[in-house]
Structure 1
Amino acid sequence: MLAALTIATAVAALVLAAWCGFAAYRDQPTKDWHFIGMAVVTVLTLVQLVVGIVQLARGEEPEQGTTLFVAYLVGSAACVPAAGFLSLAERTRWGSVTVAAAGVVLAVLQVRLYDIWGG
């Protein structure tokens, strides 16, 4: 697994979490620029998904099992988009809180992905 991509994704997720957390603190819902940030983080997770699948196709093996690794990859890719859809349904500060929480969860998932791969 590419450590640089994992670190970049985790940092971007934490930046998104801080940004949306600040919006929630100011009692604001998610705005269009928050969705641009979510799109950037989602693109990073999709790139990570493709890189992980390519490495598995090459015959590389994660240390803790392929099934667990793929499950975490798919969960990471779905985390922020799911929170984005929930924040569209909840157009109050709690939508921003939802995205902030998803950013923190994604950062934790990145640490776990690195551990599963054998980092």
Structure 2
Amino acid sequence: MFDALTVAVAVTALALAAWCGFAAYRDQPTKDWHFIGMAVVSVLAFAQLVVGVVRLTRGEKADEGSVIFVSYLIGSFAAVPAAGFLSLTERTRWGSVTVAAGAVVLAVLEVRLYDIWKG
């Protein structure tokens, strides 16, 4: 996998988690700026999905198997958008908590993706 992209996704996800966690601490729901941050993280996760699939089609192999690797790629791509949609239904501080939790999940998935690829 592309290590710099994995680190970039994990760091931006943790920054989003801290930002939304701070909003929840201040008793604020997710705002438009938070959704822009979610979009940035989602674009990076999509780029990682594309890079991972391209590397698999080139013949490179994940150490723990291609099926589990692609499953984690799809899950990491879907984590933040799913949390964003849930935060739209909960327009209280708990919407911000949901996005922060989704971003932390994405950061953990990035560590697991690295482990799956490198072994």
TM-score, normalising length: structure 1: 0.99
Map 1:28-107 onto structure 2 (within 5 A). 28-107=28-107
Unpaired segments of 5 or more residues in structure 2? none
1:112 alignment partner in structure 2: 112
Question: How far apart are 1:103 and its partner, in Å?
Answer: 0.7
What is the number of equivalent residue pairs in this alignment?
Answer: 119
Q: Secondary structure at the match of 1:59?
A: coil
Q: Secondary structure at the match of 2:30?
A: coil
Structure 1 outlier segments of 4+, above 4 Å: none
Question: How far apart are 1:38 and its partner, in Å?
Answer: 0.1
What is the alpha-carbon distance in structure 1 between the residues aligned to residue 70 and residue 2 of structure 2?
15
Q: Secondary structure at the match of 1:28?
A: coil
What is the alpha-carbon distance in structure 1 between the residues aligned to residue 40 and residue 85 of structure 2?
15
Unpaired segments of 5 or more residues in structure 1? none
Q: Secondary structure at the match of 2:62?
A: coil
Q: Secondary structure at the match of 1:60?
A: coil
1:24 alignment partner in structure 2: 24
What is the alpha-carbon distance in structure 1 between the residues aligned to residue 70 and residue 34 of structure 2?
28
Question: How far apart are 1:57 and its partner, in Å?
Answer: 0.4
Question: Per-residue displacement from partner, 1:3-60 (whole Å, max 9, x unpaired)?
Answer: 0000000000000000000000000000000000000000000000000000000000
Letter of the 1:50 counterpart: V
% identity of equivalent residues: 76
